[in-house]
Amino acid sequence: MLRKTASALAACAISALLIAAAPSAPAATGSAAPPSLTIVSSLPRTGSANSQTTSIVNGIKMAIEERGGKIGEFEIRYEDMDDASPQKGNWDQNIEAANANKAAKDPTCVGYIGTYNSGAAKIAMPILNKAGLVMVSPGNTYPGLTKPGAGEANEPKIYRPSGTISYFRVVPTDDIQGAVACEFCAKDLGSKKAFILHDRELYGKGIADVFKKSAPGMGIEVAGFEGIDPKASNYRSLVTKIRSTGADVVFYGGTTQTNAAQILKDLRSGGCKVPFVTPDGTFENAYIEAAGKDAMAPESGSVYITFGGLPSEQLTGRGAEFVERYKKKHGEVPEAYAVYGYEACKVLLDAIDRAATKNDRAAVLAAVAATKDFQGALGTWSFDANGDTTNRLMSINTVKDGKFAFVKAAGGGTGQAK
């Protein structure tokens, strides 16, 4: 995702974290080579995202198990790091910085899987880049992390102090997802006037900005564009304002953790039954649980969620095989981002296997960057020059009887492997 993010940080804050970063510490090579290699993940394991991130971690572990836990002479060790704090119930920048520094200082560590939140990525990326440690994200979607001109003026250069691209992701970005959401509202829902909300955080505001920018070309008038307080107890006065504009759809750029469910509940209790559309930061069971079946019942008003890919039940080929193995092992259908954790780890393991020196960070990084026509659970795809996946496949989903239900595929891209 997804999903997923936090406030944009000032350049000075990032610079301060860079000063604290460990110097580049590539894994030892030659006769003193360690008997094991370490892969870590840094995800919010505390708070409501836990169900989703547990699914991601399960996917990572499955990818390692399928390799027999070993590549060549090296045992693969995995460390599951939590970047969330109990106080926030969400990712914490101090914890993410500590995780990144710990991984950078570990000479056996050759890969960092994370983050889930794009705001957290802004913290980890420069630390890991300075250490020459490759980072593969299963969930970040903020375009500015990789694409010049898609974010702030100093992005993404500020995240690459070494001058080398060391960050990659296996999910499509929000500049694609926001436009897909807007097109769906215009063409499928027939919307003419949208009220756009966002959580003022990197991911949420970023995708809301894309929706706003896309609206005029889709024939949608923007009735309002407002940032909300994610910690507010209710949004009743905001609902009154939305209703007064005559908006026929509400788009919220945000996540489950930034109160998407409370906004929906207040819309419905306030008599506003227009479609409520959110991005993949809410594509998790915690969103349904927090909002409740009544707020998501069709008679209360339609609910739609965009997602950078296909839900588990719609995956084909290797993706469907992964889902079946997951169900057999864990007794349930995996949440949406499980396959992205699996894919991120698979492509990292593949790169380690191809690396000229498997315990050399530079060699592993080069192998990840050279990934082309990777045949994985998400189809056949490559990393482009920015470190983004060439896969552009998206989906629209809704909620029926308290469960997510697939509506249609959208966007474009490589599709699924057959």
Compare 12 and 139 and report the one with higher pLDDT: 139
Q: Whats the size of the chain, residue-wise?
A: 418
244: pLDDT strictly greater than 50:
yes
Q: Helix 318-330 vs helix 50-66: angle between axes, to the nearest 10 degrees?
A: 110
DSSP per-residue string spanning 37-51? EEEEEEE--SSTTHH
The type of residue at 384 is D
End-to-end CA separation in angstroms for the chain? 24
Residue 418 has a pLDDT of 27
Q: What is the mean pLDDT of the chain?
A: 91
Q: Are 13 and 6 in contact (CB under 8 A)?
A: no
Per-residue pLDDT of 298-333, as tens digits, reads 889 999 999 999 999 999 999 999 999 999 999 999
In the DSSP assignment, the letter for residue 383 is B
Per CATH, is 174-307 categorized as 3.40.50.720? Answer: no
357: pLDDT strictly greater than 60:
yes
Binning pLDDT at 50, 70 and 90, where does residue 10 land?
A: very low
5: pLDDT strictly greater than 80:
no
pTM of the predicted protein model: 0.85
Instruction: Indicate the burial class of 192 (C-beta count within 10 angstroms; 0-12, 13-18, 19 or more).
Output: middle
Residue 411 has a pLDDT of 80
Task: Decide whether 11-171+320-391 matches 174-307 in CATH topology.
Answer: yes
CB atoms inside a 10 Å sphere around CB 373: 9
Pick the CATH number of 11-171+320-391 from 1.10.10.10, 3.40.50.2300, 3.30.465.10, 3.20.20.70: 3.40.50.2300
Taking residues 214-225, report their average pLDDT. Answer: 98
> β-strands 84-85, 90-91: how paired?
antiparallel
Query: Rounded to the nearest 5°, which phi and psi values hold at 325?
Result: -65, -40
Binning pLDDT at 50, 70 and 90, where does residue 18 land?
A: very low
Cα separation of 120 and 155, whole Å? 15
Binning pLDDT at 50, 70 and 90, where does residue 225 land?
A: very high
Alpha-carbon Rg for the chain, nearest whole angstrom, is 21
Domain ranges, ordered by start, for the chain: 11-171+320-391, 174-307
Q: What share of the chain is helix, strand, coil (3-state, %, to 5)?
A: 40, 20, 40
Per-residue pLDDT of 121-135, as tens digits, reads 999 999 999 999 999
Per-residue pLDDT of 252-270, as tens digits, reads 999 999 999 999 999 999 9
Nearest to 181 by CA among 400, 2, 395: 395
Nearest to 14 by CA among 191, 159, 138: 159
Question: What does the block give as tokens for 138?
Answer: 């299963």
Cα separation of 328 and 311, whole Å? 18
Torsion sign over Cα 280, 283, 286, 291: positive
